[in-house]
């Protein structure tokens, strides 16, 4: 079995989507402090942190996308949504702040020489994380799925999808057609994935189980690609 980590590091000062609360992390208990609790050599240390539920690598809960009172929060969503056969396609040729079109997606599928099957999890390699890790352009210089490409995702009956950028929508968009598609279709998505260059144009089993945060609107996730499971 080979595992590729598709998650970004979580750390103080990491970039988060504009307006989200920042990530903070600090030393909470040290070996020195805890040693006195034990009569043996044992001691431990821990860290504390705060972060936005949509801050790091995460999956959007239905309640994030949908204002209706019965939209599921992350702890209420079926775990079956977050694990399954997956294909990663290459849209890294699409210029920043433009719409990814159905033609781009068809060409990417052609390059992968594999069709996404109904029920697959589809990952889109935009190259944004690879280009701009720790660079503020990460938050603004990437393409996003336009209205027609969002319908392409829906019509291919993908189970979930994900991107290596802060949002699957075009950052220049004021209407967010891709998030609206996720809202109406129940096809949710991952944001802030990493290392998609290592899995692009291949099939694998995607695992992206979100933290079970009660009532939260997104789930920070350790996402991974598993080969030869």
The interface region with Zn ion, picked from 16-24, 56-64, 201-209, 219-227 by CB under 5 A, is 56-64
Query: How deeply is 69 buried, as exposed, middle or buried, from its count of CB atoms within 10 A (0-12, 13-18, 19+)?
Result: exposed
Nearer of residues 140 and 202 to Zn ion, judged by Cβ: 140
CB of residue 65 to Zn ion, shortest distance in Å = 7
CB of residue 156 to Zn ion, shortest distance in Å = 19
Per CB under 5 A, 53 contacts Zn ion: no
Per CB under 5 A, 60 contacts Zn ion: yes
Nearer of residues 60 and 164 to Zn ion, judged by Cβ: 60
As a dihedral over the C-alpha atoms of residue 124, residue 130, residue 136, residue 141, rounded to 10 degrees, the angle is -40
Q: How far apart are CA 201 and CA 195, in angstroms?
A: 13
Binding string, residues 12-51; x marks residues near Zn ion by CB under 5 A: ----------------------------------------
CB of residue 123 to Zn ion, shortest distance in Å = 14
Per CB under 5 A, 99 contacts Zn ion: no
CA distances from 33 to 24, 37, 47, 113, 188 (A): 22, 8, 13, 57, 44
End-to-end Cα separation, the chain, in angstroms:
6
């Amino acid at each position: 079995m080979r595992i590729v980590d598709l998650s970004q590091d979580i750390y103080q000062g990491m970039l988060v989507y504009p307006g989200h609360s920042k990530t903070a992390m600090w030393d909470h208990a040290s070996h020195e402090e805890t040693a006195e609790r034990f009569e043996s050599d044992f001691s431990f240390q821990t860290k504390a942190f705060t972060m936005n539920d949509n801050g790091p690598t995460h999956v959007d809960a239905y309640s994030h996308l949908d204002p209706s009172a019965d939209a599921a929060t992350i702890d209420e969503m079926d775990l079956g949504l977050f694990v399954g056969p997956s294909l990663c396609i290459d849209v890294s040729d699409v210029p920043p702040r433009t719409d990814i079109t159905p033609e781009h997606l068809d060409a990417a599928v052609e390059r992968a020489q594999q069709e996404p099957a109904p029920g697959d999890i589809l990952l889109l390699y935009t190259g944004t994380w690879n280009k701009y890790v720790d660079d503020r352009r990460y938050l603004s210089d990437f393409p996003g799925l336009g209205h027609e490409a969002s319908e392409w995702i829906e019509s291919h009956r993908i189970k979930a999808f994900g991107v290596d950028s802060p949002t699957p929508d075009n950052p220049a968009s004021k209407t967010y057609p891709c998030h609206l598609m996720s809202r109406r279709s129940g096809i949710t998505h991952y944001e802030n994935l990493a290392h998609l260059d290592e899995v692009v144009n291949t099939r694998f089993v995607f695992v992206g189980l979100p933290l079970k945060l009660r009532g939260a609107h997104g789930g920070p996730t350790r996402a991974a690609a598993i080969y030869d499971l």
